[in-house]
Amino acid sequence: MTESDREVDQGRRRLVGLLAGAGAGAAVFGRALSALAAGEAKVTAGMVKQAEWMTGVAFTDEERALMLADLNESAEGIDVLRGLALDNAVPPAFTFAPSPGVPKPVPETAAPPPRRERPAARPSSDEELAFATVRELGRLLRAKKVSSLELTKLSLSRLARYDPVLSCAVTVTSELALSQAKRADEELAAGRDRGPLHGIPWGAKDLIAVPGYRTTWGSVPFRDQTRPETSAVYRRLEEAGAVLVVKTTVGELAWGDVWFGGTTKNPWKPDQGSSGSSAGSASATAAGLVAFALGTETLGSIVSPCTRCGVTGLRPTFGRVSRHGVMALAWTMDKVGPIARSAEDCALVFSAIEGRDALDPYSADGPPAWPPRRSLADLTIGFVEELFEEDRGKDAKTEEEKARAAEWRAIDLRSLDVLRKLGARLVPLKLPTKTPAGPLSLILTAEAAAAFGGLVRDGRVKTMVRQTADAWPNVFRQGMLITAADYLNAQRARTLLMREMDEALSGVDLFVAPTFGGSSLLLTNLTGHPCVVLPNGFRMADGTPTSITLTGKLRGENDLLAVADLFQRATDFHSRRPKLPEGPGRKG
């Protein structure tokens, strides 16, 4: 027996041990032994050579021959792993924390005196009532000027009128909503007050598991799915007395505004999609169908639809809100946050859902976010000067596109003026550039492929609605080609990026930047920093909203929300509402 024969024989014996020790099924085990006995190989030298482009290294013939026995062992072992039933709720056996070192305490001072509230006066019409803020609705409920049952019926009625146009609802939870509203009224009448969300109608993005109802993830393969778990955020909002009236649409598997039922629309321009993937949550809130909703963000899925629909959204620090019972797309990037009509409302919802959850190993506690504990005079706000000054129309193909870019730039510059007039201390800030953020998007691609690669292998991916280059089926296939070594090295580079971001923010408490300027959106989703996106104007051509984004330090939601609240008290963009066309009635 030659040395080469001995190596192959040893490899075969190791494979037998591996399969036996892994408890491989008899069929897999038998096929492996038969293939080896027949001298067949799952992986050949030619395959290795073809795959070398993924490594960036070219091997010699001798090096390829040397690795074949172990590669065939690994291939059979991977087949075993691919046969395991890994539910989406099963996380990897590691955790991720956005802090690149020891977490720094967030400065706090004593809470300011309570704001003086105006006497609660019921709006003159149901239309006005539908667009009241969570704070305003709470005051009306406690003054007995309105009941939770009345608010809930109003939401259900508006969903029936406007969802046929907006396509923002997957499931209207009428029976549950009426039951929860009745209980809220009884408890408030008996003096049991669960807090500012008690009796308030809300919507849950249909990635969020709610007992007794479908959780479709917006996707054809899962349109009839019910989940066994109860999501932590639903449980916490139920404990806070909020009333769930609708499970809102989500772009298929959390991308865009297209789901198995169509395209969710922007209430300001119903011939335009609402953007996504928190498409229905933003659309329903903007249309006054719910007082607030929950969305999720991995890479812009709260920021983008809030911008399109003219509502306010909070993307919390990674880990501040439990994701238990929420569809996993990328374990180290997914975040859950509120979408509402004001920054204060986002703060009230965030206060109810944030905090450590034993069922989410990535979750963590942080300081309270409301009421504000620092004034504007205490804060230093950075602004990314180059992003405000850049020519956003440089890649525009038409004069209309150039004009639109110039208009948005002017609106953003006016937002800086608003902050200055409020007394903000603005200082120029540069975002990290040493470690490029763009290539690190492969982290999302790889994790998404791990979460949904089963759809590719069993063919269900072909049933998904969008089958284009910029859609999940294509990206899942690409993600399956990313090597484990490249994924881990991308995570190591991410550590460098987090350190650079920590240094960049060392002299400020938060920073302001154009919402889609430069790489800020990708960069801050990778580093896990929180942001608030809020409306800051409207385009002259079509009256659609624009937005500005405030980004804070890790666990710095308090400062972010305080500044956003002051901005909104000095402007009225967040309080304007769209004129809604009515549909023919609730679709079946």
Q: Which of 277, 283, 304, 351 is catalytic?
A: 277
Q: Which residues pair with 226 in a beta bridge?
A: 214
Give yes or no: 274 in active site.
no
449: Cβ–Cβ under 8 A, 6 or more apart, which residues? 456, 475, 476, 477, 478, 479, 480, 482
Q: How far apart are CA 463 and CA 219, in angstroms?
A: 9
357: Cβ–Cβ under 8 A, 6 or more apart, which residues? 232, 322, 324, 363
Let me know: does 367 contact 338? Beta carbons within 8 Å: no
Q: Do β-strands 510-514 and 545-552 pair in parallel, antiparallel, or remain unpaired?
A: antiparallel
Q: Which phi and psi (to 5°) does residue 505 adopt?
A: -95, 5
Q: Which of 147, 167, 231, 301 is catalytic?
A: 301
In a 13 Å sphere around the CA of 126, the CA atoms on its Cβ side amount to: 11
CB burial string 488-499: b at 16+ within 10 A, e below: eebeebbeebbb
426: Cβ–Cβ under 8 A, 6 or more apart, which residues? 381, 382, 383, 416, 419, 420, 512
Q: How far apart are CA 349 and CA 337, in angstroms?
A: 9
Q: How far apart are CA 100 and CA 479, in angstroms?
A: 26
| Best CA proximity match to 23, nearest among 67, 105, 83, 71 | 83
534: Cβ–Cβ under 8 A, 6 or more apart, which residues? 306, 312, 343, 547, 548, 549, 550, 564, 567, 568, 573, 574
Report which DSSP code applies to 240.
Answer: T
Let me know: does 153 contact 201? Beta carbons within 8 Å: no
Q: How far apart are CA 495 and CA 528, in angstroms?
A: 11
Let me know: does 318 contact 95? Beta carbons within 8 Å: no
Q: Which of 42, 148, 155, 205 is catalytic?
A: 205
Give yes or no: 301 in active site.
yes
Let me know: does 495 contact 101? Beta carbons within 8 Å: no
Give yes or no: 277 in active site.
yes
- Using DSSP's 3-state secondary structure scheme, residue 9 falls into helix
Q: How far apart are CA 47 and CA 162, in angstroms?
A: 56
Alpha helix locations (H) across 310-362?
A: 343-353
181: left (phi over 0), alpha (psi -120 to 50) or beta: alpha
Let me know: does 198 contact 184? Beta carbons within 8 Å: yes
Q: How far apart are CA 473 and CA 489, in angstroms?
A: 25
Q: How far apart are CA 192 and CA 235, in angstroms?
A: 18
Q: Strands, DSSP E only, in 225-311?
A: 243-248, 258-259, 262-263, 265-266, 269-273, 292-297
Report which DSSP code applies to 75.
Answer: H
Which residues carry out catalysis?
Answer: 205, 277, 301
